[in-house]
Amino acid sequence: MNENIKLVLLSCCAPCSAGAIKQLADGSIAGVTDFIVLFYNPNIFPESEYTKRMHEQIKYCESLGVKYAVLEYDHDAWRDCVRGFENAPERGARCNLCFQYRFRRAVKFARDNGYDAIASVLGVSRHKDQSQVDAAAIVTCDNISYMPVKWDENLRVQINRESDFYRQNYCGCEFSIRKV
Ligand code: SF4
C-alpha cells in the first residue's frame, strides 16, 4: 500500500496530535489522500478531564478544517479490560492492554467507515514507549494496515509553543494520576 491511502489517525489529545494533524492536512505524509482524526479515549479519568481533552481536540481539528470523529466514552468497559493490572507501572502491562483496547475500536471504526489504514500519536509523549505502541497496534490491526509514522517532533513542539492548548500533567487513567 503506498498511494490513495484513507487513514484513521487515532489521537489522545490536541498537544500530542497537533504536528501529525498539520502534516496530514498539508499532504506531507506520502500516499495519504484522505484522513480522519479519531478521538477514542475511554481510558481518561475523570470524565471532566476527558471532556476538556476532547474539546481541545475538536477545536484544533476545526481550526484546520479537518475531519474528526468522537466515539463512546466507555470507561467502565475500559476498567474491565485492565482489571488486575491497576498497579502496573506506566509503560507496563496495563498500558499494553489500554493501547490494544483503543486500537481494536479504531480498527472497527476504520472498517465500518471505509478507511484502510491506521496511524496514531499514542507514542508521542516523552512518557511513552513508541515501540510498545507499535507492538500493540500490530497485534490488533487485523485486515487493516498499520502505518508506524515517525511524526515531525520539531513541528509538534513549535505548534504547542504557539498555541494555548489545555495541557494535562498525567497520561489519562486514574492509575497514572500523580505518577508522571
Ligand atoms: S498510563 Fe496511559 S497508556 Fe497506560 S493504562 Fe493509563 S491511560 Fe492507558
End-to-end C-alpha distance for the chain, whole angstroms = 38
Determine if ligand 1 sits within 6 Å of the CB of residue 173.
yes
**Residue 78: what are its φ and ψ, rounded to 5°?**
-60, -40
Q: How far apart are CA 63 and CA 21, in angstroms?
A: 11
Distances (CA, A) of 147 to 31, 42, 116, 120, 162: 11, 23, 10, 8, 28
Atom of ligand 1 lying closest to residue 94 CA: 5
- % of the chain beyond a pLDDT of 90: 94
- The C-alpha atoms of residue 82 and residue 86 are separated, in whole angstroms, by 7
Backbone phi and psi for residue 45, each to the nearest 5 degrees, phi listed first = -140, 140
CA of 163 to the centre of ligand 1 (A): 25
Note if the pTM is more than 0.85: yes
Please tell me the predicted confidence (pLDDT) of residue 2.
66
- Residue (of 111, 21, 20) closest to 67 by Cα position: 21
Task: Name the residue of 41, 78, 129, 176 to mutate for ligand 1: max ligand atoms within 8 A of Cβ.
Answer: 176
Whether the per-residue pLDDT at 1 is higher than 80: the answer is no
pLDDT bracket for residue 3 (50, 70, 90):
confident
pLDDT digits (tens, 9 = 90+) for 85-99: 999 999 999 999 999
Q: Is the CB of 175 under 6 A from ligand 1?
A: yes
Q: Note the pLDDT tens digit of each residue in 12-68.
A: 999 999 999 999 999 999 999 999 999 999 999 999 999 999 999 999 999 999 999
The 3-state DSSP composition of the chain as helix, strand, coil percent (nearest 5) reads 45, 15, 40
